[in-house]
A = this chain, B = another copy of it.
Amino acid sequence: MSGYTVMNMMKDGDGKGASATRSAYLTLRQMILTGELPAGEKLKIEQLRALLKTGASPIREALSLLTSDMLVERLDQRGFRAAPASKANFEEILMLRCTLEDMALRASIANGGTAWEERLVLCHHHMNRARQKGTPEFEVAHKTFHMALLENSGLPTLERYCAQLYDLNIRYRYLAAGGARYQKRDIAAEHKSVLDAALDHDADRASDRLLTHYRLTGEYLGQQMDH
């Protein structure tokens, strides 16, 4: 799954050796997710070209790709802007996540398999380790764990939607709280209970724990957004 050679290592990762388009895509994506490029802001090609030190073509292409992720809007002949944010949008995303992840998680559990279970355990372990290391590492591990829960569903389109919605939700975490500040809740315990239920093949319990996890976070963020 991750057999790197010196040569193709240049094309993965965070984009240092990748194509200019991919590099720009990853950078801009991060900037929008973290709010460094605020919601609704006009994205001027020239400005971004200077910022990323690359030509206009990679920028334009990256912005077109970000349209897939609903992080950028394209206004024909009038350039691009960072997708606007609103509480209504936030709540829609939360609702969709609950519906779609429920479906994906149940399918994953139904498919089962030891390979998947082991991957799950490993991702969970990595996530806990990453908590000590720092925020960016934890963010990555957190997403990996959540996606691993769903990635046994055999439903790639559904998984894609879930990944998209996950990112959109992260964006609201930054917009609302200015970062990945967590609350008093015992997030680790919530994750553990989802993991345990999944390993027990208890779809109802796993789904319930997962959705509760999302709804609690959603409630917290919703409050933050009201100031």
- Give A contacts to B, CB under 8 Å: 11, 18-19, 21-22, 57, 60-61, 64-65, 67-68, 70, 74, 76-77, 88-89, 92-93, 95-96, 99, 103, 154-158, 160-161
User: Given A64-B65, A68-B68, A11 and B76 touching (CB < 8 A)?
Assistant: yes
Which of B65, B74, B77, B88 interacts with A11 by CB under 8 Å?
B77
Number of copies: 2
Could you say which residues of chain B place their CB within 8 Å of the CB of A60?
57, 61
Select A99's contact among B11, B21, B67, B99, beta carbons within 8 Å. Answer: B99
User: Could you pull out 18 A-B pairs where Cβ atoms are within 8 angstroms?
Assistant: A18-B76, A19-B76, A19-B77, A21-B76, A60-B61, A61-B61, A61-B64, A64-B64, A65-B67, A68-B68, A89-B156, A92-B155, A93-B157, A95-B155, A96-B157, A96-B158, A96-B161, A161-B161
Q: How many angstroms between the C-alpha atoms of A17 and B92 in the bound complex? A: 35
| Contact A65–B74 (Cβ < 8 Å) | yes
* Complexed CA–CA distance, A96 and B158 (Å): 8
Which chain B residues border A103 with CB–CB below 8 Å?
99
A70 x B19 contact (CB < 8 A): no
